Structure formats: C-alpha cells, structure tokens
A and B are shown apart, each in its own frame.
Chain A
Amino acid sequence: MSETVQMQGLAQVEKGRSLWQDAFARLKKNKLALTGLVVLIVMVVLALLTPWIAPYSYEEQDLSLGATPPSWEHWMGTDIFGRDQLTRVLYGSRISLMVGFIATSVALCIGVAWGTIAGYVGGRLDAAMMRFVDVLYALPFTIFIILLTVVFGRSMLLLFLAIGAVEWLTMARIVRGQVMAIKHQEFIEAAVAMGMSRGRIMLRHVAPNILGPIIIYTTLTIPSVILLESFLSFLGLGIQPPASSWGSLISNGVETMEEYPWLLIFPAVTLSLTLFALNFLGDGLRDALDPRASLD
C-alpha cells in the first residue's frame, strides 16, 4: 500500500505533464475524434486560403446563365444569379467559422473570468455573481437577439456580441463548478500557504487545471453558435447579401429545394460536416481529458 502512495505522490508531482501526454495518447486512439480534427483543420485552411483559391467572385452575377447543376466549370453548380456556389460556400465558411470562433471567444473570456473569480473567491461575491448569472439565465435571450437586430439593424459586430452574450453564462457556471472542485486540493493550499496572492494563484494554478473542461465546452459551443447564426439568417436577421454564410446559403437553398436541390445540399452538407467534426472532436477531448466526467 505504501508503494502505491509513493507512486501516487510521484504521479502528482509530474501530474501537469503526464496528464496532457496521457490525454493526447488517448485522443490519438479515438478514430472519430481524429477524423473530426482533420476535417476541422481542412475547413479552416480552406477558409483562410479562400481569397486565393476561389475560382470565381462571390458576387459576380451571370443572369443569362441562371441556376445550373454541378458541372466541370462549377463544381457545386450556380445559383439563380449565375453565381458560382463553390466560391460562395467557401466565402460562407469564412463568415460562419469566424462567427463561431469569435463569438465563442467572447463567451470564453467573459465566462472563464467570471466563473474563476466567483468560484475561487467564494462567499458573498460568489453568491452575488452567480445570482446575476441566474437572473440573466431567465431572460429569453434569443428573443432579445431578435429584438436587438430589429432595433439596431443588422451588423456583424452586433451579431458577435449578442451571440457571445448568450453563451457565456453556461461557461461561467461550468468554470465556477470546476474551480470550486479543485479549490481545496492540496497544491492550491500549498500555494496559499506559500503566500501567493489570490490573483497569481488563479492565473497560474487554477486556470491551467481547469483547462480541460473549458476546452471541451468551447469545442461544443462553437457548433451551437454556428447554428444560432444560421437560425438568425433564416429569419432574415443575419448576414446581408451579397455576402453569405452557411446559414443564409441554406436558408436560400430551402426555398428552391425542389427546383435546385444542389443549392441546399452542398451548404447543408458542409455545415453538418463541420458540426460533426466539432462534436466528435469535443467528445474525443472529453473522453481523453476527463474519462470519468459525466456528460454535461
């Protein structure tokens, strides 16, 4: 028994590194998650390279051509304005991925900061901060987003802020839960005993150790953000023409689903693939980093 305790002690000292290596090893074994990661990387690279690799302009029209099914000149066909769909899907991925990453980052920053402070400081501050979260949780946010876009017009900035403002709440809750769980662990108490300031402890010890759940949750937030954006586009409140996002492409494609099915299929498949990839990756990360975590 004493050997095990010794081993445990050793393991704890090296815990930081071997946790990550361990996790990565587990992740590598998960084929689905790896596929997801690859798909995601391909998507991001394509999106970044779009201005150079896109075969046509995303707004130039060819009215006499009209909507044509996929062909050698237009791999994904053209829409009713004769615009190349492949180009529009590529540019759409720039917008959708950008919305996904930026809005999630906004949620991340606010949520992590809020949750860490609340969870670590505890006491009255925690109660007040979480009460605030509870209050906001009760607001019908999607409704507010609709109202905001109707009031202030459609702008990208508004979209990012509004979406980010919806997602940070859950992030704050999760982070706070995690922080409270490790708050009383020995290495934290050791740091306190050493006289480290609260701020430094939060930054250097708490944050890196809760990174796991944060990464997982972030990976799972991005798809819901992208879906939220496409929902808003469907209602006519999202991206404005002639620009496109996956959501607006799908929304347009739905209207002409029977006449020109390719206009729906390609953006829908692209969206779904990306969402699959993100979800599988998130699952894989969760299994890798926290094998005993309950699904949240």
Chain B
Amino acid sequence: MAAPSAKAGIVACCAFVFMLLCGCTEKKLSNVEYGNQNQILFYGNGDEPKSLDPHLTTGSPDNNIIINLFEGLLSKDHATLEPKPGVAKSWTISEDGRVYRFRLREEARWSNGDPLTAEDFVYSWRRALTPSVPNAYAYMMYYIEGAEDFHTGKITDFAQVGVKALSAHELEVTLIHPAHFFLQLLDHHSYYPVHGPTLEKFGGISDPASKWTLPGNLVGNGPFVLKSWEINKVIELEKSETYWDKDAVKLRGAHFFPIDDQQGEERAFRTGQIHLTNTPQMDIEKIETYRKKDPDVLRVVPTYASYYYEFNVNRKPFDDARVRKAFALAVDRKLIVEKVTKGGEVSTVNFVPPDPAGYQPQVYWQEDVEEARRLLAEAGYPDGKNFPAYSLMYNTHDNHQKVALAVQQMLKKNLNIDIQLENKEWKVYMMARKNLEHDIVRAGWVADYMDPSNFFDILRSYSGNNNTGWKNAQYDQLMNQIAATSDTARRNELFEEANRLLAEEMPVLPLYYYSDLNLVHTSVQGWYDNAMHYHPLKHVYLQQPTP
C-alpha cells in the first residue's frame, strides 16, 4: 500500500508540473498571427447559430455565416450598400415598375458543381412560402403577386405566384405594386436559393429537423463552403472552388467562434485569438480605454436601428396620451447616450431613424421636465400622486439593464413616480411582449432593408410586430398610401405625416439610434463600416497596414 501510493503521488505531481511548464514554454503563434500568414479570418460571432438554413433563421450570428455560404439574385456593395449584381448579372424593370426580369449568370454553380438555374429560385421561393415551413420572414415576400395567398393557404398552386422561370437563366418576378426597395430585399436571406436535390435527400422542404445544413451535406452557392461545425466551439468555412467569382475571394477560410460573453469576447480580441468582434455591442466601460489606447481598432458605426420603449396603451394610465408624453419628455436622452451607453449613439425624440438615402424625420418636441409635470398633472396625477404601480420590462442583458436603471431614476426624480424593473429572459420577454402583458417594455428594431417603411410598418394597427396595442386608422391609411407610391418625394411627405402623428400620440418612447461597436484588428482589410452592419467576407483579406 505504501510504496505504490507514494510513487503514484510523485508521478502525479510531476505530470502536473510538466503540464504547467508545457503551457509556459511553448509559444505558439496566436490565432491572429497564424491567420494573417495564411489568410484565415478568426471571427467572434456571439451566440451559437441556431441553423444555417437561410429560410429558417432569424438571428444575426446565423446570418453572418449564411451570407457567405449563399448568394442571392442581387448583393450589395459593401461600402455604399447599393444593390449590385449577384447571381443575376443584369435585370430590367417594366414601365409600371411591377415586372422584373433577371438574367442569371451562366457560370453560376452550386458548391457540388451543379449549375444554378432560374428553376432553383422558383423552387427556393416556393419553399420559403410553403405554409408548413417555419419561415419567420415570409412576410418579406408578400410584395410578390400571390405570395401572401400561397403562404396563408388561400391558393395551393404555386404557378399562380408571380415568379416564373422563363428559361434556364431568365427569371421573371411580378409584384403586386411597385416597390422601389425591392432590389434591396433580394439580398435578404429569405430570398436566397437552396439546393433542391439536397433538401429532398434529407427529408423534404418542410422538415425542421432536417440535417441538410450539417457539414458534408450543405450545398450552397456562395463564396465559401462549410468545412466543419463543432457545436459551441467553432464553425469553419473555407473558400469555394465552384463559386463564379472565386478569383476575387482572397481569404482562404474563416473560423467563427460563438463567444456570448462580452468580457470574454474583448479578452479574446486583446490576446489575439480573434481578428474582430462582431456582436452588436461590446463592453461599454472598455470603450473609453480603447479610444485612448488603441483607437485604430475601435469601430463606432451608427446603424439603421432604433432603441425605444413600447407602452401598453390598453392599460391605464397609458391609455392617456398625456401620460405617455409626460414620460417621454421627462427622460434625459443625452445623458443616457453620453454617460450610460457611451457608444456614440445618437439620442433622438423620433422613432424612425434618418434614412441615409433621403428621409430625414423632423423634430416636433423636446425634452422638458416642466412640461412633463404639467401634462402629468393635467392627466390627473399631480406630482406623481396616486400613480398606479407599474413596471418596466426588459430582456436580460447588461446594457438594457443600465438604460432601464437610468430611466427609472429619471422618472423618479423628475416626475416623482416609482417604477419597478422587471427583467426576463429572452423567451419569456418575447412572449410577454406579444401578449401585451407589460406596462412598458424595452424594444429595439434593426432594419432588414434601407427604407423607413421598415420601421413605420411596425406600428400598423394589426401588424404582428406591434406590441403596443395602439390602433389608428389614419395611420394605417398613411401606410397603405406609402406602399402604393413609388415617387420618393411623395413618400417622404407621407412619412413625415406619419411621424407627426406618432409625435402626437406617442405610442412608443424613443430613446436613441443604435451604434455598432466593434473591435477590428488593423490587419483586416475590406471591412467597411456601414449602417446595415453588412460585412460579406468575399472582399475581406488580411494584410498588415504599411506603417
């Protein structure tokens, strides 16, 4: 008993010390150094993606990978965001703006070598609109004639939907009415093509548990292919040999890491384990440090996205517009973006952000504590007396908590009103919001395409994304008019009318426009800041900048 146990103990100790030393002495290249030498990008991607199926996904971590595995009819210029040819090399639009004809490239291929044809797009869009497929973005295809009817089951013959393959490389799309941002939509993942034979091989178009997206099975048409997917560890992409524009692709591969902890992500960046962080928000308190010490890697990019609080207008006292306005006027937004979020966000009294392409919302009111108090008194709660207890709900996240805390204190100080903070996980939060179980709830909307209607449509009376309970016939009418017009000037006029209506009614409490805050290593080239946070890897390459 003695001799073996003593010896075992000594051996164990030695092994441990050896392990320790191994770590210290062997100094391998960091990921960034290795990547720079081999044109492999290491990417901090936030949550583990739920699915790589372009029709089933809703999260941005998923999307970051999907835009590299697939390509739509059109893509966007990565600097200016203008629509550019993708699979379609040219297109024509009819006089009335409703019929689009796309000419596809003959050299477009799937990653297994199959030629890409117009029929593939018909198949894919049929799949995206099939009622049994859980496609949360199907509504984005409703601009196409017959699409909504097919998706809701009113018609069952897809031939009646306005998308037809005129020949192997000609696709014709007919819209219900002209939509001048339609070309932008075509780069959205819900419009991406999927490979029919692969889907059929793995269970058909509507099997949510299909394995067709796993490495080895997945067939896409983008600049990269899926090499491996280790759950919660890493997703590896490598350059596609069949992509029609493969010569323009300089990267040999990309590794996506699912790092969901803000501090962990920043540490990984600092120690050279990733080239860039791509979660929308980094650790706020580190922003200053980077501004001072390493400003070249800090990217602060205003985005086309809005951060706001939704009122529940079905609940007293928020059914009274004066109370809602009182709240809106009592919050000091500048202080919040300067001292709490610190990310260069733009504080705003408007719900809809200015559109880089043209629409600029006007300002109808300003923060004013006196006026807020007056409105509150007028509504029957002078100095906050008798104000019912209510709560502000937000989903569990540091940054949301910080903003909520600040707003809570401002309301207390300025209006003498006590609010509770309620934080719930994402799922519970989503459900409560949809079922209008909240008093006030935190919300955010990131645009799917660059047009103000993307935001305004949320507040339609019966929109599935309207979580305020606010219904306004006049507003709906404005929305319908906007949808039917293609004249930009007229549209902007109508947008402004809608904006004014929102300022009067205040169904939501606007706070600020999001900024993306990312850390990007100086060796990453071809990564352009833009308002849609659009970063395809096709044009990215690694090169140390010349000093």
Chain A directly contacts chain B within the complex, with at least one CB pair under 8 Å: yes
Question: Which residues of A line the B interface, CB within 8 A?
Answer: 59-61, 63-64, 66-67, 80-81, 150, 153-154, 236, 240-242, 254-256, 258-260
Partner of B421 from the list A240, A256, A259 (CB cut-off 8 Å) is A240
The verdict on B247 contacting chain A, using a C-beta distance below 8 Å, is no
The 5 closest A-B pairs by CB, nearest first: A63-B339, A61-B409, A256-B285, A259-B285, A63-B335
**Shortest distance in angstroms between B428's beta carbon and chain A's nearest beta carbon?**
8
The verdict on B58 contacting chain A, using a C-beta distance below 8 Å, is no
A236 touches B289 (CB 8 A): no
A255 touches B398 (CB 8 A): yes
Question: Which residue from chain B places its CB closest to the CB of A256 in the assembled complex?
Answer: B285
Question: Which residue from chain A places its CB closest to the CB of B284 in the assembled complex?
Answer: A80
A64 touches B335 (CB 8 A): yes
A240 touches B423 (CB 8 A): yes
Contact residues in A for B425 (Cβ distance below 8 Å): 150
Subset of 15 A-B contacts with CB under 8 Å:
A60-B413, A63-B335, A67-B285, A80-B340, A81-B405, A81-B409, A153-B424, A236-B396, A240-B423, A242-B405, A255-B263, A255-B283, A255-B285, A256-B285, A258-B286
Contact residues in B for A254 (Cβ distance below 8 Å): 263
Question: Which residue from chain A places its CB closest to the CB of B286 in the assembled complex?
Answer: A259
Say yes or no: A258-B405 contact (C-beta < 8 A), given A63-B340, A64-B339.
no
Contact residues in A for B398 (Cβ distance below 8 Å): 255
258-302 of chain B: CB within 8 A of chain A: 262-263, 283, 285-286, 288-289
Partner of B406 from the list A81, A154, A258 (CB cut-off 8 Å) is A81
A80 touches B402 (CB 8 A): yes
Contact residues in B for A236 (Cβ distance below 8 Å): 396
B285 touches A80 (CB 8 A): yes
Say yes or no: A241-B285 contact (C-beta < 8 A), given A59-B409, A255-B398.
no
The verdict on B461 contacting chain A, using a C-beta distance below 8 Å, is no
Q: How far is the CA of A255 from the CA of B261 in the complex (A)?
A: 10
Q: Mark B331-345, 1 if CB is under 8 A from A, else 0.
A: 010011001100000
Q: How far is the CA of A103 from the CA of B148 in the complex (A)?
A: 57
Interface size of B by CB at 8 A reads 25
The verdict on B416 contacting chain A, using a C-beta distance below 8 Å, is no
The verdict on B135 contacting chain A, using a C-beta distance below 8 Å, is no
Known pairs A60-B413, A81-B402, A254-B263 / 7 extra A-B pairs, C-beta < 8 Å: A67-B285, A80-B402, A81-B406, A241-B401, A242-B408, A259-B286, A260-B285
Question: Which residue from chain A places its CB closest to the CB of B423 in the assembled complex?
Answer: A240
**Shortest distance in angstroms between A241's beta carbon and chain B's nearest beta carbon?**
6
Contact residues in A for B413 (Cβ distance below 8 Å): 60
Contact residues in B for A63 (Cβ distance below 8 Å): 332, 335-336, 339-340, 406
B406 touches A61 (CB 8 A): yes
B405 touches A66 (CB 8 A): no
Question: Which residues of B line the A interface, CB within 8 A?
Answer: 262-263, 283, 285-286, 288-289, 332, 335-336, 339-340, 396, 398, 401-402, 405-406, 408-409, 413, 421, 423-425
A259 touches B289 (CB 8 A): yes
Q: How far is the CA of A238 from the CA of B494 in the complex (A)?
A: 48
Contact residues in A for B283 (Cβ distance below 8 Å): 255
Say yes or no: A61-B263 contact (C-beta < 8 A), given A66-B339, A150-B425.
no
Q: How far is the CA of A61 from the CA of B421 in the complex (A)?
A: 15
Q: How far is the CA of A240 from the CA of B392 in the complex (A)?
A: 13
**Shortest distance in angstroms between B528's beta carbon and chain A's nearest beta carbon?**
30
Contact residues in A for B406 (Cβ distance below 8 Å): 61, 63, 81
Contact residues in B for A241 (Cβ distance below 8 Å): 401, 405, 421
Contact residues in A for B405 (Cβ distance below 8 Å): 61, 81, 241-242
Contact residues in A for B401 (Cβ distance below 8 Å): 241
**Shortest distance in angstroms between A296's beta carbon and chain B's nearest beta carbon?**
25
Q: How far is the CA of A63 from the CA of B340 in the complex (A)?
A: 8
Say yes or no: A258-B289 contact (C-beta < 8 A), given A59-B409, A60-B409, A63-B335.
yes
Contact residues in B for A259 (Cβ distance below 8 Å): 285-286, 288-289
**Shortest distance in angstroms between B419's beta carbon and chain A's nearest beta carbon?**
11
Q: How far is the CA of A67 from the CA of B285 in the complex (A)?
A: 10
Interface centre among A63, A64, A67, A259 (most CB of B within 10 A): A63
**Shortest distance in angstroms between A237's beta carbon and chain B's nearest beta carbon?**
10
Interface centre among B286, B288, B402, B405 (most CB of A within 10 A): B405
Q: How far is the CA of A15 from the CA of B285 in the complex (A)?
A: 62
Contact residues in B for A240 (Cβ distance below 8 Å): 421, 423
**Shortest distance in angstroms between B517's beta carbon and chain A's nearest beta carbon?**
15
**Shortest distance in angstroms between A252's beta carbon and chain B's nearest beta carbon?**
9
Q: How far is the CA of A59 from the CA of B289 in the complex (A)?
A: 27
Contact residues in A for B339 (Cβ distance below 8 Å): 63-64, 66, 80
**Shortest distance in angstroms between A255's beta carbon and chain B's nearest beta carbon?**
6
Q: How far is the CA of A81 from the CA of B398 in the complex (A)?
A: 13
Contact residues in A for B409 (Cβ distance below 8 Å): 59-61, 81, 242
Contact residues in B for A242 (Cβ distance below 8 Å): 405, 408-409, 421
Q: How far is the CA of A116 from the CA of B289 in the complex (A)?
A: 59
**Shortest distance in angstroms between B127's beta carbon and chain A's nearest beta carbon?**
35
**Shortest distance in angstroms between B433's beta carbon and chain A's nearest beta carbon?**
16
**Shortest distance in angstroms between B429's beta carbon and chain A's nearest beta carbon?**
12
Question: Which residue from chain A places its CB closest to the CB of B339 in the assembled complex?
Answer: A63
Q: How far is the CA of A258 from the CA of B263 in the complex (A)?
A: 11
Contact residues in A for B336 (Cβ distance below 8 Å): 63
Question: Which residue from chain A places its CB closest to the CB of B332 in the assembled complex?
Answer: A63
Contact residues in B for A80 (Cβ distance below 8 Å): 285, 339-340, 402
Question: Which residue from chain B places its CB closest to the CB of A65 in the assembled complex?
Answer: B339
Q: How far is the CA of A80 from the CA of B409 in the complex (A)?
A: 14
Contact residues in A for B332 (Cβ distance below 8 Å): 63
Q: How far is the CA of A66 from the CA of B425 in the complex (A)?
A: 28
Question: Which residue from chain B places its CB closest to the CB of A67 in the assembled complex?
Answer: B285
**Shortest distance in angstroms between B262's beta carbon and chain A's nearest beta carbon?**
8
**Shortest distance in angstroms between A261's beta carbon and chain B's nearest beta carbon?**
12
Q: How far is the CA of A68 from the CA of B424 in the complex (A)?
A: 30
Q: How far is the CA of A61 from the CA of B403 in the complex (A)?
A: 12
Contact residues in B for A66 (Cβ distance below 8 Å): 339
Contact residues in B for A60 (Cβ distance below 8 Å): 409, 413
**Shortest distance in angstroms between A283's beta carbon and chain B's nearest beta carbon?**
28
Q: How far is the CA of A81 from the CA of B425 in the complex (A)?
A: 24
**Shortest distance in angstroms between A198's beta carbon and chain B's nearest beta carbon?**
46
Question: Which residue from chain A places its CB closest to the CB of B266 in the assembled complex?
Answer: A258
Q: How far is the CA of A258 from the CA of B283 in the complex (A)?
A: 12
Q: How far is the CA of A59 from the CA of B420 in the complex (A)?
A: 12
**Shortest distance in angstroms between B439's beta carbon and chain A's nearest beta carbon?**
16
Q: How far is the CA of A60 from the CA of B405 in the complex (A)?
A: 10
